[in-house]
Amino acid sequence: MPADDAPRPLLIIDGDNLAHRAYHSTPKTVTGADGSSINAVVGFVGMLVKVWVKERPRGVFVAWDTLGVETYRHRLWPPYQSGRVFERAIVQQLELLPRLCQAFGLGVGKRAGFEADDLMAAAAIAEVERGGACLLLTTDRDAYQLVSAQVTILAARRGARELERIGPREVVERLGVLPEQVPDFKALSGDSSDKIPGLPGIGPKSAAALLLEHGTLDSVLDAWGRPKEAELALTFREVARMRPDVPVELPPSGPPDWPGGSAALRLLGASALADRVAALADGQS
């Protein structure tokens, strides 16, 4: 947690990433007033409260995917993220959560054709350009490309009881490349979770070694002189790269609207959590 007189960073949350973690770590027996599952909602808000209390950010921005809508990544590489099937209970809560975040007075980013990754990138760059710093709450390694002196990743562990800080040094320790080389690294080595195969015969270690030697994907490809592989690798890099050219509105500084969030939770039937959130308003935590 920053000192009282230190500038406070903007907390940027990967909404879908946190919601999925909450869904799988909170008992599915948690139900709302209408009997439907709200375990992801309860887990999400519980994590939000924990991180807010620990970090005291200046504000919160939550980025969301638009489910069921094709993005520019699918047009570049049709197999991208193919085969993913979500349970109906998490899909319903993913549709609900952005509205709940608005009830809490948080900044919300969601735009058809773009992913949460792109909205996170846009918000982080906008915050840094105004002289601020950011904390990115996500466990997705794609976000490593955004890490800098002003941008730190918070990777929640043990249900947000532990928050691992990932800066430029940690990115190098984990991947063997600099943050700005992450899209090039993924283009070469691939990412099975996103159905990006990478180039034949190249794994993480060889990709890191090639980028250490040549610096960029373009230089690697120039040294190889393989036009077909070059075209494929450049496509993979565009798929892996976060695009910040999507409009976002940064939230004002100040705590969440705890009373508003509490009221929304109470309507859902999460009375115990609503009481806990309402208590935060007394101290404007």
* Dihedral sign (CA 187, 192, 193, 194): positive
Contact 116, 16 (CB under 8 A): yes
Rounded-to-integer distance, Cα 220 and Cα 240, Å: 17
Spatial neighbors of 36 by CB under 8 A, at least 6 apart, are 89, 92
Rounded-to-integer distance, Cα 152 and Cα 155, Å: 10
Helix axes 227-240, 217-224, angle to 10 degrees: 170
Q: What is the pLDDT along the chain (285 residues), one digit of tens a residue?
A: 555 556 899 999 999 999 999 999 888 889 999 999 999 999 999 999 999 999 999 999 999 999 888 899 999 999 988 878 899 999 999 999 999 999 999 999 999 999 999 999 999 999 999 999 999 999 999 999 999 999 999 998 765 567 899 999 999 999 999 999 999 999 999 999 999 999 999 999 999 999 999 999 999 999 988 888 899 999 999 999 999 999 999 999 999 999 999 999 999 999 999 999 999 987 654
Measured in whole angstroms, the distance separating CA 143 from the mean position of its chain's CA atoms is: 7
